[in-house]
C-alpha cells in the first residue's frame, strides 16, 4: 500500500488545507491511537506525549490530536512548545507508547505537520505509518466513556530536557571564556537552548527567542543564517549557533562570520572521534552530502555511505550498519551514542567539545573539507509527475552529466515535505554547475506545468 499522507517527516502541509485540518488531525490521532492500542506492551492503556513548536496553529492541532487519541482510549501528556528531539527523549524517559510533534520544522508559520516517535524515541518505521493510514480509512468509533483516555500536563519537561542535553557534554570540559550567539529561529528552543550553553559556562547572547506565533523561521535560524552572522560580528562572539523551528537542525558561524553547514560540522565531530579512537564504524550521509566531505573522510580512512534524503533514512542505515554518526548537509546530525534522533543542541555540543578538547577553532577543524560548488533549485509542482520518465527532463540531465564528465553529480528528487522537485547539480566549476542546474530546472518547470 502506497502512503497517501505520510512523507519523509510525517504529515505536513498548509494549515487549513487537507490534510492539515482539524477534522483530519482528529482522525489521525484516533487512527494512531488504534494502532498503538494493538501494538502496546503490557496490560496498561497506552500513553502518548504531545509537543509542538511555536506556530499559531499548534493550539488548534494539539486539541484535535488530544481529542482523537482520547477517543481511541489513549492517555495524553502535554508539554507545550518543545523541540522535536526533546519529545523523542521524554517519550523514552517516561516509558511512553509514542511521542507526537506538531511542527513543520523549517517551513514558514502557515505550514504545519504531525510527526511520530516510537516508545524508543525513534521515527516510526514506514510499516507503522502505513498501518495508521489504513486505520484512517475506517470509521471513527469512540470508546465507551469508561475507556476514554485522559490528559495531563508535564510541568518539568523543560528542566528535564536541559539536564539531558548537558549530560551529553564531557564532564572534564566546560564552555567558560566562550562567547556565543544562539539563534532559536523564534521556534521550539526559544526557552531552552541558551540555558544549556550558559549553564555549561558560556557567555550567551540570544536572538530569535521571541516567538509570536507567526515569526518562526522568518529571516532567522538555520535556514537564514544571515541574522546570526550579523549578530556574531555585533557582539564580537567566538561562535554562533543557529537552530531551526523545531530544534533538530544546526548551522554554525565562526567569529569571522563564515557559515558552516551540516557536512562540515559532521566532519568536525567524526574526525575528532577518529582521533580519539571513539568512532564506531563510519559515517552515513545522504544523496545530498557534498563530495568534498566524502573525500575528506576518505583521507582519514573513515568509511562513508549514502542514504536516501531524510534523517529517518540516515538513522535506518546507521542501525543497519551498527554505526553511530551520520547526518545531512541541511544540518540534521545524528549521534546515536548521545540521542536516538537528530538534535541541534546536542550536535552543537559535540562540535564544541571537539573544539575545546583539541584547543582549536572551527575554521581549522573544518579546513580539510573543500566543498564542491553545489546548486540546489526547488521547482514548485502542485501535481505529481514522473520526471524520470519525462523525455525532455532526462535529455537535460544526460547533457549535464556528459558535460560534468565524472567530476560532479546530478540529482533530482521529489521533496517529502513540500510540493517541490529538488534539482541539485554539483561539480568543480561553479559557473558550469549553475548553468546546468538552471537548465534542468527549466526543463522540470516546463514539464510540471
C-alpha cell at position 420: 517541490
Determine the Cα–Cα distance for residues 36 and 97; give it in Å rounded to an integer: 7
Q: What is the DSSP string of 60-74?
A: HHHHHHHHHHHHTT-
What is each CA distance from 277 to 230, 274, 323, 348, in whole angstroms?
37, 5, 14, 20
Please name which of 21, 105, 116, 31 lies closest in space to residue 71, comparing C-alpha atoms. Answer: 31
Which H/E stretch holds residue 348?
A: helix 344-358
C-alpha cell at position 422: 529538488
Q: What is the DSSP string of 352-402?
A: HHHHHHHT--HHHHTTT--PPPEEEEEEE-SS---TTT-HHHHHHHHHHHH
What is each CA distance from 306 to 67, 362, 365, in whole angstroms?
40, 25, 23
CA neighbours closer than 13 Å in the CB half-sphere of residue 281? 18
Query: Catalytic residue among 105, 271, 340, 415, which?
Result: 105
Q: What is the DSSP string of 397-428?
A: HHHHHHHHTTSSEEEEEE-SSSSEEEEEEE-S
Is 118 considered catalytic here? no
Per-residue exposure over 402-419, b if at least 16 CB sit within 10 Å of its own CB, e if not: ebbeeebbbbbebbbbbe
Instruction: Dihedral sign for Cα 163, 167, 168, 171, please.
Output: positive
SS3 content of the chain, % helix, strand, coil (to 5): 40, 20, 40
Determine the Cα–Cα distance for residues 277 and 275; give it in Å rounded to an integer: 6
Give catalytic residue positions.
105
Amino acid at each position: 500500500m502506497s502512503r497517501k499522507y505520510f512523507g519523509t517527516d510525517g504529515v505536513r502541509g498548509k494549515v487549513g488545507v487537507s490534510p492539515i485540518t482539524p477534522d483530519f488531525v482528529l482522525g489521525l490521532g484516533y487512527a494512531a491511537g488504534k494502532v498503538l492500542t494493538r501494538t502496546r506492551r503490557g496490560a496498561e492503556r497506552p500513553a502518548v506525549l504531545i509537543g509542538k513548536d511555536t506556530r499559531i496553529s499548534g493550539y488548534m492541532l494539539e486539541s484535535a490530536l488530544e481529542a482523537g487519541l482520547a477517543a481511541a482510549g489513549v492517555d495524553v501528556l502535554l508539554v507545550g512548545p518543545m523541540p522535536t528531539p526533546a519529545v523523542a527523549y521524554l517519550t523514552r524517559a517516561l516509558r511512553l507508547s509514542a511521542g507526537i510533534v506538531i511542527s513543520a520544522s523549517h517551513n514558514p508559520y502557515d505550514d504545519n505537520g504531525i510527526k511520530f516517535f516510537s516508545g524508543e524515541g525513534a521515527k516510526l518505521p514506514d510499516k507503522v505509518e502505513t498501518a495508521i493510514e489504513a486505520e484512517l480509512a475506517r470509521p471513527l468509533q469512540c470508546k465507551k466513556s469508561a475507556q476514554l483516555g485522559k490528559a495531563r500536563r508535564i510541568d518539568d519537561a523543560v528542566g528535564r530536557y536541559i539536564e539531558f542535553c548537558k549530560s551529553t557534554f564531557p564532564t572534564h570540559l566546560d564552555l567558560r571564556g566562550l562567547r556565543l550567539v544562539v539563534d532559536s529561529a523564534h521556534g521550539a528552543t526559544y526557552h531552552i537552548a541558551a540555558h544549556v550553553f550558559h549553564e555549561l559556562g558560556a557567555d550567551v547572547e540570544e536572538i530569535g527567542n521571541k516567538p509570536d506565533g507567526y515569526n518562526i523561521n522568518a529571516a532567522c535560524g538555520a535556514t537564514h543564517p544571515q541574522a546570526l552572522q550579523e549578530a556574531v560580528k555585533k557582539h564580537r562572539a567566538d561562535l554562533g549557533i543557529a537552530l531551526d523551528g523545531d530544534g533538530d537542525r544546526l548551522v554554525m558561524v565562526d567569529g569571522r562570520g563564515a557559515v558552516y553547514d551540516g557536512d562540515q560540522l559532521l566532519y568536525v565531530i567524526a574526525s575528532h572521534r577518529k582521533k580519539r579512537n571513539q568512532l564506531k564504524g563510519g559515517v552515513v550521509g545522504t544523496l545530498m552530502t557534498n563530495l568534498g566531505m566524502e573525500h575528506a573522510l576518505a583521507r582519514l580512512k573513515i568509511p562513508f555511505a549514502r542514504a536516501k534524503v531524510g534523517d529517518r533514512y540516515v538513522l535506518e542505515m546507521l542501525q543497519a550498519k551498527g554505526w553511530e554518526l551520520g547526518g545531512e548537509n541541511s544540518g540534521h546530525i545524528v549521534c546515536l551514542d548521545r540521542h536516538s534522533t537528530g538534535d541541534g543542541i546536542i550536535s552543537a555540543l559535540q562540535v564544541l567539545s571537539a573544539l575545546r578538547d583539541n584547543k582549536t577553532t572551527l575554521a581549522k577543524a573544518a579546513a580539510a573539507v573543500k566543498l564542491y560548488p553545489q546548486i540546489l533549485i526547488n521547482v514548485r509542482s502542485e501535481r505529481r509527475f514522473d520526471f524520470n520518465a519525462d523525455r525532455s527532463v532526462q535529455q537535460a540531465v544526460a547533457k549535464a552529466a556528459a558535460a560534468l564528465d565524472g567530476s560532479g553529480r546530478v540529482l533530482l528528487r521529489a521533496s517529502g515535505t513540500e510540493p517541490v522537485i529538488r534539482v541539485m547539480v554539483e561539480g568543480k566549476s561553479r559557473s558550469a554547475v549553475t548553468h546546468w542546474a538552471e537548465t534542468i530546472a527549466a526543463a522540470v518547470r516546463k514539464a510540471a506545468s
